[in-house]
Amino acid sequence: MPRIVSVGTAVPEHTLMQEEAREFARELFRDTFSDIDRYLPIFENSTIQTRRLARPREWFEEERPFSERNDAYTETACHLGELALERCLAAAGVTAQEIDHLFFVSTSGIATPSIDARLVHRLDFSCHVKRTPIWGLGCAGGAVGLARAYEYARAFPESRVMLLAVELCSLTFRRGDRTKSNLVATSLFADGAAAVLMIGDQVPLGREVIHCPQIIDTLSTTWPDSLDVMGWEVDNDGLRVVFSRDIPTLVRREVRPAVEGFLSRSGLEIDRLDRVIAHPGGMKVLSAYEETLGLAPDILGLSRSVLGEYGNMSSVTVLFVLEKELGQEHQEGNYGLLTALGPGFSSEMMLLQW
């Protein structure tokens, strides 16, 4: 089975403290919500302490046209993407010329040529490298991108495959959007990039690679009548966030049957999971995972750590959790579940074994 070899991550230089974000939101939304102080505890309850932004906070105090925000997306996505790819390649001791296929995932900006095309020659990839840009997967994108990379590496076992995910959620912010969804988004979302290297069975293994996790199985699920749970609506001035308060309820109702059915394909039950690498969409979502799956409180510790330090970086976040997981000690035979939820309303799951 294909193996995950290394992860490289990158974040912008501008740090936003959560208290600063809270006061920014108070000033922006107080004329819309007369009881604004009733909503502001979402900033503390998120347990987020810091986030990284593509531009300094002062940049967001003025209304920016969609074209300017999208130009900033292209510029920053190329910069962070390059850093993440370089760090991932260096960690594995592999050159860009050795990569056979590059998958790119993003939902927070638009670029044609796509970001992956712009990076091919900046990092000296082969001019014949295959590229697959994927747009619109939202928070599930990191897990979905891994699944598509796994399928390619399984079909072409001599190949080295890279996934790059870049999200600049802050650049979708629109001052004129005074909805509760935008207020919630202001308390959660952030920017970052992550790259993952995966190899097929016929790629020679170094001693360090033998201890990297194999991918055993993947499963995609899209639930009916759920298109309005999460996503974007396209307005004249950009992308308007859609964010339902029902997400934790859906997790409690839908996730356990999906996980049980997925694990049963490999003859496993939930109590066989040693690790859960979950996209931290928010504290309520993580708590819903614990409740519905009966997880020990510490099993999502890495997800909580990433959420607190970086916020919700959409598709990128679960790959930050994966990077931390790869740095932990594992016993041979340990099982891990990597999972993320996204627009659709959808789920992507991946079963790992060390």
- Determine the pLDDT at residue 210: 62
- Determine the pLDDT at residue 264: 97
Q: Give dist(CA 213, CA 284) in Å, integer.
A: 29
- Determine the pLDDT at residue 106: 97
Facing residues of 156 across strands? Answer: none
Domains of the chain: 3-199 (3.40.47.10), 214-353 (3.40.47.10)
Per-residue pLDDT of the chain (354 residues; tens, 9 = 90+): 999 999 999 999 999 999 999 999 998 888 888 889 888 998 999 999 999 999 999 999 888 999 999 999 999 999 999 999 999 999 999 999 999 999 999 999 999 999 999 999 999 999 999 999 999 999 999 999 999 999 999 999 999 999 999 999 999 988 888 888 888 888 999 999 999 999 999 998 765 566 799 999 999 999 888 777 777 777 777 777 777 777 878 888 888 999 999 999 999 999 999 999 999 988 888 999 999 999 988 899 999 999 999 999 999 999 999 999 999 999 999 999 999 998 888 999 999 999
- Determine the pLDDT at residue 239: 75
What residues are annotated to the active site?
139
Q: How many CA atoms lie within 13 A of 290 on its CB side?
A: 15
Q: Give dist(CA 23, CA 55) in Å, integer.
A: 18
Q: Which two tokens stand for residue 101?
A: 């296929």
Q: Which two tokens stand for residue 5?
A: 């070899």
Tell me the three state secondary structure of residue 291: helix
